[in-house]
Amino acid sequence: MTLDTVKHAAETPESGQPWKELGLKEDEYARIREILGRRPTGAELAMYSVMWSEHCSYKSSKVHLKQFGEKAPQTDALLVGIGENAGVVDVGQGYAVTFKIESHNHPSYIEPYQGAATGVGGIVRDILAMGARPVAVMDPLRFGAADHPDTKRVLPGVVAGVGGYGNCLGLPNIGGEVVFDPCYQGNPLVNALCVGVMKHEDIHLAQASGAGNKVILYGARTGGDGIGGVSVLASETFDSTGPSRRPAVQVGDPFQEKLLIECTLEIFREQLVAGIQDLGGAGLSCATSELASAGSGGMRVELDTVPLRDATLSPEEILMSESQERMCAIVEPDKVDRFLEICEKWDVIATVIGEVTEGSRLEIFWHGEQIVDVPPRSVAHEGPTYHRPYARPDWQDTLQADDAGRLPRPADSAELRAQVLTLVGSPNQASKSWVTDQYDRFVQGNTVLAQPEDSGVVRIDADTDLGVALATDGNGRYAKLDPYTGAQLALAEAYRNVAATGAKPLAVSDCLNFGSPEDPAVMWQFAEATRGLADGCLALGTPVTGGNVSLYNQTGDAAIHPTPVVAVLGVIDDVNRRTPMAFGEQGQLILLLGETREEFGGSAWSQVVHDHLGGMPPAVDLEREKLLAEILISGSRDGMIDAAHDLSDGGLIQAVTESCLRGGHGARLVVPDGLDAFTFLFSESAGRAIVAVPRSEELRFTDMCGARGLPVTRIGVIDGDAVEVQGEFAIPLAELGAVHEGTIPGLLA
């Protein structure tokens, strides 16, 4: 095969090219020709096709994502915003925290273990590239029906992959979600979050500046894995009759990544890099073009110097390869020796593959012959933008009219009791310890709270006890009923979860999982959800710092529920003040904060008891959420509350059951005036939490709520070894524990 050089491309303008097979549209190919003033070389075509794919260019979503910037709330907390590898938030005392959530959905369906493992690896490198030491991970996971045979293939593989990679990196896994719904059967959602910590002065950015600076590729050798994975995996559905264009999923090596982390942190400590970028989707194509695009000059790369695992790879394949555990650094010439020395210390292969130039072009050579000559911005930042049509689907009204309030309710106390057991033992409400016990939550010795607590809390300074809290939440059922409200409910829940542990919410990262953007109904869901989230973040004062969009999560015409997953980061000045969820002391009072209305649309009860999805999701009141958060934080800081737990899916009875089981104490509850027992136990009204308060603090606490205008109701006392609802039923903790703990192992072990 002859090498398709720039010179050759200029001489053979009419030579046919596989732009269509690479996922480009005709007008996109024409635009590339226009940018270059000739046909692209094979290598250039590879770069454009992968960088202009949905996954890398956000071409369908970016017109909507703009709102996160336009509606961003005023805040001093944001040090680096959207657009870098990850956003950076000021948490005080000179510390900055960077966090981001991403998806690895499609690869995880094909190869659950490696798909999930490399999802963790990718997000960890994003955090590392900002200059931070990664300190924790979280994994929101969604699967098909719990009892579907394929779930037994996908879930254990995904969990083993998340654990196998994260455990080996020494990153505590402090939270996440496990959700089952038939809508995810062919499209499991594997989202991964990483959080890292650094000092303000250690922030690093992905840019290549300073002519003469060296481009160093370091980490694993480049192999044939995941070639085209980005453009193809992320842009085609799993239609078995269509052409098979799904290449191999990437294979991860967490040991190599652990070396890369320690090596990179040592390089940062000695201030040896001028710019840095991890290699993820689109590999070298992405890293070189983004670094050059964000810098002031051009870049020249000798592609044949790249260390290979497979010597037969063509230059196009090397540019496309998504081999894991690689980073690319821009280093001043006099620092190169020390850089390479540190890499050698950690047994990490490092190679100078090029340098920053005075020009404005990204030029790539293969054994002396030029195969790429492009304006880097045109590859990295000036990809196509689609204004895809969107329209509220005609079935939305029917769905919303199908009110869950009309579903038959339990006829008597015995049925109510039975439904409580059904609910807390249902796959979505059951304990997920079978999953989370496969993750190391203790490593690094800073874990203050981990799942199943409302948020994960890690200490970031052992001298001052400064800590951060993180929660991720999403509810596809709510979002299906009303995407705008559903996105805000996800935000509100994560915000509430952070506050419930005593931390002040600061910032948001989101992972937007949706079906095909080519379906106007899906695009409407996306538009509504992003609008809801942007409005919500503005109202709560928590900016979106970055995130990820995953589209085409559908099989045939059946899209997943729109599933915006929202991560909220909070700060807690003194981790000793954190509030756990466990009811720890008999005799303490249980108070319900917020108002309970008859809201059952999208509820766990409607799903578990009636297999129903219809009506409207719970109403959102973001001002109320802010007030509730302030009360929870004040209560924690001033030592008034000993336990707190947010109320969300499953309602009050789910929260009480979890707090009782975790603490090993029962509760006696009284149905408040004005509510019936069923609504009291199962409603999913937002803006609520339960707290445990020592009797000596009751007055001080309720006075504070009263003065601030937050409704507070005394609903019972921590007592005995059963959950008792006066006048209705009592269920021994042992019985609740058996169904709550037994379900998932019963399905999967």
Question: What are the catalytic residues?
Answer: 55, 104
Does residue 67 contact residue 531 with C-beta atoms inside 8 Å?
Answer: yes
What residues are designated binding site for Mg(2+)? 102, 126, 278, 548
Nearer to another protein, 193 or 448 (CB): 448
Residue 252 interacts with another protein (CB under 8 A): yes or no: no
What residues are designated binding site for substrate? 103-106, 125, 250, 322-324, 550
Q: What is the DSSP string of 7-27?
A: HHHHH-TT----TTTTT--HH
Which of 63, 160, 418, 619 binds another protein (CB under 8 A)? It is 160
Of the candidates 690, 637, 616, 680, which has an alpha carbon nearest to the alpha carbon of residue 402? 616
Residue 452 interacts with another protein (CB under 8 A): yes or no: no
The least CB distance from residue 249 to another protein, in Å, is 20
What is the CA angle 119-123-124, rounded to 5? 110
The least CB distance from residue 300 to another protein, in Å, is 33
Of the candidates 488, 431, 473, which has an alpha carbon nearest to the alpha carbon of residue 646? 473
Record the tokens describing residue 345, joined without a space: 């210390």
Distance CA 123, CA 104 (A): 10
Residue 219 interacts with another protein (CB under 8 A): yes or no: no
Stretch that binds another protein, among 104-112, 134-142, 250-258, 709-717 (CB under 8 A): 250-258
Distance CA 493, CA 625 (A): 9
Record the tokens describing residue 708, joined without a space: 């601030």
Residue 600 interacts with another protein (CB under 8 A): yes or no: no
Does residue 276 contact residue 206 with C-beta atoms inside 8 Å?
Answer: yes
Distance CA 273, CA 744 (A): 47
Which of 35, 79, 145, 168 binds another protein (CB under 8 A)? It is 168
Distance CA 710, CA 494 (A): 20
The least CB distance from residue 161 to another protein, in Å, is 11
Residue 432 interacts with another protein (CB under 8 A): yes or no: no
Which of 274, 448, 539, 692 binds another protein (CB under 8 A)? It is 448
Of the candidates 307, 281, 305, which has an alpha carbon nearest to the alpha carbon of residue 222? 307
Does residue 319 contact residue 224 with C-beta atoms inside 8 Å?
Answer: no
Nearer to another protein, 44 or 253 (CB): 253
Phi-psi region of 266 (alpha: psi -120 to 50; beta: other; left: phi over 0): alpha
The least CB distance from residue 155 to another protein, in Å, is 12
Nearer to another protein, 164 or 650 (CB): 164
Residue 443 interacts with another protein (CB under 8 A): yes or no: yes
Record the tokens describing residue 579, joined without a space: 């509030």
The least CB distance from residue 34 to another protein, in Å, is 48
Q: What is the DSSP string of 182-229?
A: GGGSSS-EEEEEEEEEEEGGG-------STTPEEEEEESPB-STTTTI
Which of 100, 106, 459, 662 binds another protein (CB under 8 A)? It is 459
Burial of 347 from C-beta contacts in 10 A (0-12 / 13-18 / 19+): exposed
Pattern of binders to another protein over 332-371, x per CB under 8 A?
A: --------------xx------------------------
Does residue 327 contact residue 264 with C-beta atoms inside 8 Å?
Answer: yes
Which of 462, 558, 699, 734 binds another protein (CB under 8 A)? It is 462
Distance CA 564, CA 566 (A): 6
# residues contacting another protein (CB under 8 A): 33
Residue 642 interacts with another protein (CB under 8 A): yes or no: no
Residue 444 interacts with another protein (CB under 8 A): yes or no: yes
Nearer to another protein, 413 or 576 (CB): 576
Does residue 728 contact residue 607 with C-beta atoms inside 8 Å?
Answer: no
Stretch that binds another protein, among 285-293, 332-340, 436-444, 623-631 (CB under 8 A): 436-444
Which of 319, 492, 575, 747 binds another protein (CB under 8 A)? It is 575
Residue 238, classed as helix, strand or coil, is coil
Stretch that binds another protein, among 64-72, 162-170, 208-216, 218-226 (CB under 8 A): 162-170
Of the candidates 518, 527, 520, which has an alpha carbon nearest to the alpha carbon of residue 479? 527
Residue 437 interacts with another protein (CB under 8 A): yes or no: yes
Residue 464 interacts with another protein (CB under 8 A): yes or no: no
What residues are designated binding site? 58, 100, 102-106, 125-126, 250, 278, 322-324, 510, 547-548, 550
Stretch that binds another protein, among 182-190, 414-422, 433-441, 702-710 (CB under 8 A): 433-441
Nearer to another protein, 255 or 271 (CB): 255
Stretch that binds another protein, among 205-213, 253-261, 608-616, 645-653 (CB under 8 A): 253-261
Residue 158 interacts with another protein (CB under 8 A): yes or no: no
Distance CA 84, CA 134 (A): 16
Q: What letter does residue 81 receive in the DSSP assignment?
A: -
Nearer to another protein, 167 or 323 (CB): 167
Nearer to another protein, 641 or 725 (CB): 641
Residue 200 interacts with another protein (CB under 8 A): yes or no: no
Record the tokens describing residue 315, joined without a space: 């230059």
Nearer to another protein, 530 or 659 (CB): 659
Which of 314, 351, 438, 464 binds another protein (CB under 8 A)? It is 438
Stretch that binds another protein, among 90-98, 387-395, 446-454, 482-490 (CB under 8 A): 446-454
Residue 258 interacts with another protein (CB under 8 A): yes or no: yes
Stretch that binds another protein, among 20-28, 388-396, 435-443, 653-661 (CB under 8 A): 435-443
Nearer to another protein, 170 or 405 (CB): 170
Does residue 65 contact residue 41 with C-beta atoms inside 8 Å?
Answer: no
Residue 441 interacts with another protein (CB under 8 A): yes or no: yes
Residue 163 interacts with another protein (CB under 8 A): yes or no: yes
Residue 170 interacts with another protein (CB under 8 A): yes or no: yes
Count of CB atoms situated within 10 Å of the CB of 12: 12
Residue 167 interacts with another protein (CB under 8 A): yes or no: yes
Nearer to another protein, 437 or 703 (CB): 437
What residues are designated binding site for ATP? 58, 100, 510, 547
Does residue 567 contact residue 175 with C-beta atoms inside 8 Å?
Answer: no
Q: What is the DSSP string of 115-153?
A: HHHHHHHHHHHHHHHTTPEEEEEEEEEEES-TTSTTHHH
Stretch that binds another protein, among 229-237, 394-402, 443-451, 590-598 (CB under 8 A): 443-451
In the chain, count of helices (H) and strands (E)?
Answer: 25, 28
Cα 106 to Cα 102, 235, 249, 432, distances in angstroms: 12, 10, 9, 23
Question: Which spans of this chain sit near another protein (rule: CB under 8 A)?
Answer: 160, 163-164, 167-170, 253-256, 258-259, 346-347, 436-448, 459, 462, 465, 575-576
